[in-house]
Structures are given as structure tokens and as C-alpha cells.
A and B are shown apart, each in its own frame.
Chain A
């Protein structure tokens, strides 16, 4: 695979030398094109507009090594992260590798195929869509994934199939002696009028440094519904660079909720691309960060046809020296009329040293559209704090309650009960921890 490198090589190129072979001609082709793309996609620098606020040192100053040299430690207490609703609809991956013994996929009903991608390489949907839906210009990460992934998630719903339980995709990352890079992969194809809920979990089991580059391709066909919750609880030393992209066809709905709690550096680039009229999609986010964490969301909502409703509420709480970046692009193409698009980025800054950069970016070429957008950065309202204090709460308790209330809105929409509860606990833990740190500071 000798493609000339047109750009300054990065650590990804070093690691790419260990790209796994594949017997499948189809995968070989993906590897081939991914390598070519990787060799022409420059690694991000602060000079690039899309990276100017993001400190990528956690990526560039870490010596990532191939898995064989990482000294991986085994995963422990895997069961602890199961969710009861998905007792028979669970796929478990450890450092990107499929775990049959922890997975359980019998409980989804007729017309639903779920399994390890590498077991479904001859499925016509895999051949048609895998790696064909990724659409990230000049992005080394997505192509690195294309070059390195072996296992992954494959979900297919036949016409009118309704998954009887939410599918839990549990990605666990183990402790290791040296930092490694994992490349989880996911392909979801929902045929006409089908319906599925997906819970995508990323959990760091220890506090080690590692990097994960999940790529997720989703095709939502006519009249299909997908509810997609993505929960990121990586190690606080980890780098998480994710690329989830969804294509929505006529009358379909795609609702995505991304909760970012972990990671030293997170760069999340969700995209939704409209492929026909009458669609409804959501790209909500909740970010709770503290300490030295950096969480960056660059999203795209691409309206290419008329009659779309789209919604993006991105809420962020920043404490300590943490840094949040938000760039929300909304495109409305020339003939895409009657678009009703809502975007709001609300930031709550709890500390003096926290930092927020926010940039809503609307590019509208149609004339009959309703696009509202807004960004706010604020502290807790002293009037609200006083109100609760006058009702007997201490100042700390009042602040905790208000932070909790701020964060809760995004979570309300997640319809899997146990995940909803789990997230409420996470928010509670975050608000609690903040008050403790403030009292002792």
C-alpha cells in the first residue's frame, strides 16, 4: 500500500504502519482508500479555522503505541455497566474489540440484525454503505479509523421492523502500561418505517491515557425513527475524537443526545444530512467539564430539501480551568424552503478560570425559512441563588440545585429509564463535586 504522503506525517501515520490485513476484498478497498485519504489530510493545527480554539496537545504530546506494545490490562466488572432494558440487546467492545461472551443479542424481535461488523462483511447493506457515508473533508481521524478498524457494530432493521428493546453499545477502555488508540466503528441502516433506540456508551475503566476515534454511519430511510443517546465517560486523561454522521430520508426522524462527561480532550463532530423532504432531527448535547478538560463540539446540520424541522440545544457547564468550544453550522441550501431550525448554545460558567468559545454559524441560501439561534454565557443568576437561600437553602446547596436544574433539560429527552436515571446521578455527582471543590478552595 504505497501512497505518497503529501502532508507532514503525524503519529497516526506511524501507527498506521500496523494496519491490520483483511481477507475481505471489500475491506481491502476501504483500507486502500483510507490510506490515500490519510496521506492527504493534514493533521490539525491551531492555524486552521476549525481548530483555532482547541488545544490539541493531549493528542500530540502523548506517545501512543500500537496495541501490541501497550501492555493492555484486562477489563474488570464489565457487568457493572449493563443497563437492564438491554439485557438481551447488548454489544460489548473492549478497546474496540468485540466481546462475544459479554454480548447478548437475542432480544430484538423479527427483522432486526445486530452483531459484530466483521461477521457481516458480506451483508449487502455493509457493502453498500460502510465507509460510503463518511463525509468529513480533510479529516485524518475518520480515515485512520477506516484503515484500522476490525470489529464494530452492525445494526440493520428491515422494513417496518421495530426493535423490541434499546440496543446498548458498550465501549469499554481498559488500563494499560502505555497509551493506545482504539477505533470503534458503527453502521446503522434503518429501512422504511423501522424504529430503534441506540445507547452508545464510552467508558474508561481506569484513569490512563488512551485515545478513541469512533466513527458511526447511520442511514435513516423513509419514515424510519432512530433515537440515539451517546454517553461519553472516558478517562480524564483520554482523547475522544468522534465522527457520527446520519442521513435522513423522507418523513424520517433522527434524534441524537450526546452527553460529554469524561476525556481530557474531546472533539465531537456530529453531522446530520437531509436527503429528502419532511424530516425531523435533533442534535442535542450536554457537556459537564471540570479541571483541565477540553470539550469541543463542531456540528453540522445540513438542510438540503424543503420542510425540515431541526433542533439543537447544546448545554455546557464549565468549572475549574476547563474549556468548552462550540461551533454549530446550519446550512440551508438554495431550494430548501420551509425549514424550521432551532439552535441554542447555553453555557454556565462556574469558575473564574473556565473558558467558553461559542460560534453559531448559519449559512442560509433559501428565503422562506425560520432559523433561530442563540448563544449565552453566564454565571448562576444571583437573584435565583438569593431566592433559594431565602427559602432556607445554604448558598452551596442553592448553587448545586441551580446547576443541576440547568443541566437536567437535555437529559429529560432520553427515553430509556435506567439511562435517564444514571445520567441524573452523573449530573448530581458533578454538581456535588463542584461544591466540595469550591468549599475547600
Chain B
């Protein structure tokens, strides 16, 4: 589904290099966790896959279903089924959740040959998605993320994921800033949304989310590349020993199956 090949990335125009040759393959239906210390490039990797204009790919490629997506705009990537849950979801005062979601749903539906929904159909469609993240219907009439608590913003990201039904989701530190109840809601939502035909990448600092969602693969990023890959045992080991011991490892390319 996704193949990241020797990806080198710098901040557009600054020459500051952030990714130094990332290799990663994600197949349909898999759950991957990407861990690593602050500044290791985890968030950047997610943003680059989603097409953030701040970053420039200077070497390597990202293939999605066999085709390079480097030249695609963020919206075109979304149309193909790529989704990014933001670490810091953006507040958009004046635009309601329902407006944003219907607009997004229908744009993506149109580009993927699905039926577009009118406001009433959309209301029906959206109702059980709300339950998934335990949001009250009033929430739909509020401006996107404006005045939301940290936990509400994160739940809103998962809610958007539920509505848009992406094929490949990068969840950038969706677990950070959540109390234990909210973490359970979010984790349950993700688990229910995950299936055989879609893949999830959990970008996280902590192992605790992985208590709820069992990843097929765990990767550790250090210094802009994947330093080590393994299964969930790796995450447990990281929790116990920290990241220090990995500095001794050379480059190990993370490849699923």
C-alpha cells in the first residue's frame, strides 16, 4: 500500500535536514507504531506523507499503491484515501464541523466514485460515527476545534477519520494530552475503524496507547531514520529502557513483512 524509499527531507528553503533516508513499507490491513524521542522526525514523516508544503523531499520517493505521490497536493492525497490526524488540530472559527465534514466527505466521495450525500442523508450517516467517539450531536454545529479542549480536539480527529473512511491513516500523537478515559474512547474508535482493507500508523511517544491497540510492527526513529523495527515487544522494551540503548544500533530499515 505505502512504500517509503530512502526518503530525505528538509524544511523548504532552510536547508535544515530532518529525514535522512527513511525506508518503510506498510501493507493493507496492518497497524504500525512509530516511536522515538522528540525531534527524531516522526511527526515530519507523517506530514510529508500527507503533503505538507513546508517540507521538501530532496531524495527518495513515496509510493502509494505503486505510484509516486510526491507531486500530488494534500487534497489529492486525501482523495486517494490518505489521512493525517494532526498532533495539533487547527482551530477554524466560523466553519462548523458539519460543514467541513460534509464538504470533505462529498469531495472525497466524488473523486472516488462514491455517492455524494445531501444534508439529510449526511446527518443519518454521521450519527453512528458520533457514537463511536462519544460526541454529542450539538458538537456538529460548533466551529471546527474552536474552544475545544485538548481531548476534544483529538477525539474530533478520530471522528473525522471515521467519517472520511481513509485507506491509510497516520495518527500523529493522537494519544498525547488525553486522560485515561479519553484515551480509551480514542483507542476504541481507532480499533473499530481499522479493518483488513485499511492501514493505521500510530505515531507516539508512549507505549500506553499500544496497550489498547496491538500493532503488527513497531519502529523506532532516531535522527531522521528508522533505527530499529520489531513487534510489540520492542515497544515494551522501550518503555523499560528508554531510547538510549538504541543509539548504539546502526541503521536498520523498517520493513513490514
Q: Mark A386-409, 1 if CB is under 8 A from B, else 0.
A: 111111111101100110111011
Complex-state Cα separation, A148 to B115, whole angstroms: 63
Q: Which of A384, A395, A401, A409 contacts B75 (CB 8 A)?
A: A395
Complex-state Cα separation, A213 to B89, whole angstroms: 47
Contact in complex: A389, B90 (CB < 8 Å): no
Most chain A CB atoms below 10 A, which of B53, B92, B104, B160:
B92
Q: Does A383 contact B (CB under 8 A)?
A: yes
Contact in complex: B52, A386 (CB < 8 Å): yes
Q: Which of B53, B93, B104, B111 contacts A405 (CB 8 A)?
A: B93
Tell me the smallest distance from the CB of B72 to a CB of chain A, in Å.
11
Q: Using Cβ atoms and an 8 Å threshold, which residues of chain B touch A384?
A: 90, 92
Contact in complex: A390, B78 (CB < 8 Å): yes
Q: Does B43 contact A (CB under 8 A)?
A: no
Q: Which of A386, A388, A409 contacts B100 (CB 8 A)?
A: A388
Q: Does B209 contact A (CB under 8 A)?
A: no
Chain A, interface SS category: helix
Q: Mark B86-128, 1 if CB is under 8 A from A, else 0.
A: 1001101111000010011101100100000000000000000
Residues in A lying within 8 Å of B, measured CB to CB: 381-384, 386-395, 397-398, 401-402, 404-406, 408-409
Question: Given the interface contacts A387-B86, A405-B94, does A394 sit within 8 Å of B103 by beta carbon?
Answer: no
Contact in complex: A387, B95 (CB < 8 Å): no
Q: Using Cβ atoms and an 8 Å threshold, which residues of chain B touch A388?
A: 92, 100
Q: Using Cβ atoms and an 8 Å threshold, which residues of chain A touch B73?
A: 389, 394-395
Q: Using Cβ atoms and an 8 Å threshold, which residues of chain B touch A381?
A: 90
Q: Does B239 contact A (CB under 8 A)?
A: no
Complex-state Cα separation, A392 to B104, whole angstroms: 5
Q: Does B54 contact A (CB under 8 A)?
A: yes
Complex-state Cα separation, A381 to B53, whole angstroms: 12
Complex-state Cα separation, A398 to B76, whole angstroms: 13
Tell me the smallest distance from the CB of B38 to a CB of chain A, in Å.
20
12 more contacts with CB within 8 A, not counting A386-B51, A392-B75, are A382-B53, A384-B92, A389-B73, A390-B77, A390-B84, A391-B78, A391-B104, A393-B107, A397-B107, A402-B95, A405-B95, A408-B94
Q: Which residue of B lies closest to A387 (CB)?
A: B90
Tell me the smallest distance from the CB of A376 to a CB of chain B, in Å.
14
Q: Using Cβ atoms and an 8 Å threshold, which residues of chain A touch B103?
A: 391-393, 397, 401
The 5 closest A-B pairs by CB, nearest first: A405-B94, A389-B74, A387-B90, A391-B104, A392-B78
28 contacts between A and B (CB under 8 A): A382-B53, A382-B54, A384-B90, A386-B53, A389-B73, A389-B74, A390-B50, A390-B78, A390-B86, A391-B100, A391-B104, A391-B160, A392-B75, A392-B79, A392-B105, A392-B108, A393-B75, A393-B103, A393-B104, A394-B73, A397-B103, A398-B75, A401-B92, A401-B95, A401-B103, A402-B95, A405-B143, A409-B93
Contact in complex: B92, A387 (CB < 8 Å): yes
Q: Which residue of A lies closest to B107 (CB)?
A: A392
Contact in complex: B90, A383 (CB < 8 Å): yes
Tell me the smallest distance from the CB of B35 to a CB of chain A, in Å.
23
Contact in complex: A387, B89 (CB < 8 Å): yes
Contact in complex: A404, B75 (CB < 8 Å): no
Complex-state Cα separation, A382 to B51, whole angstroms: 13
Q: Does B45 contact A (CB under 8 A)?
A: no
Contact in complex: A405, B78 (CB < 8 Å): no
Q: Which residue of B lies closest to A409 (CB)?
A: B94
Q: Which residue of A lies closest to B160 (CB)?
A: A391
Q: Using Cβ atoms and an 8 Å threshold, which residues of chain B touch A395?
A: 73, 75
Q: Using Cβ atoms and an 8 Å threshold, which residues of chain A touch B100?
A: 388, 391, 401
Q: Using Cβ atoms and an 8 Å threshold, which residues of chain B touch A382?
A: 53-54
Most chain A CB atoms below 10 A, which of B92, B94, B164:
B94
B:39-79 near A, CB below 8 Å? 50-54, 73-75, 77-79
Complex-state Cα separation, A407 to B93, whole angstroms: 10
Tell me the smallest distance from the CB of B111 to a CB of chain A, in Å.
8
Complex-state Cα separation, A392 to B111, whole angstroms: 10
Contact in complex: A404, B160 (CB < 8 Å): no
Contact in complex: A389, B95 (CB < 8 Å): no
Q: Which of B75, B93, B105, B164 contacts A389 (CB 8 A)?
A: B75
Complex-state Cα separation, A381 to B9, whole angstroms: 22
Most chain B CB atoms below 10 A, which of A386, A406, A409:
A386
Q: Which residue of B lies closest to A381 (CB)?
A: B90
Complex-state Cα separation, A406 to B86, whole angstroms: 22
Contact in complex: A402, B92 (CB < 8 Å): yes
Tell me the smallest distance from the CB of A400 to a CB of chain B, in Å.
11
Q: Using Cβ atoms and an 8 Å threshold, which residues of chain A touch B54?
A: 382
Q: Using Cβ atoms and an 8 Å threshold, which residues of chain A touch B50?
A: 390
Tell me the smallest distance from the CB of A387 to a CB of chain B, in Å.
4
Q: Which residue of A lies closest to B85 (CB)?
A: A390
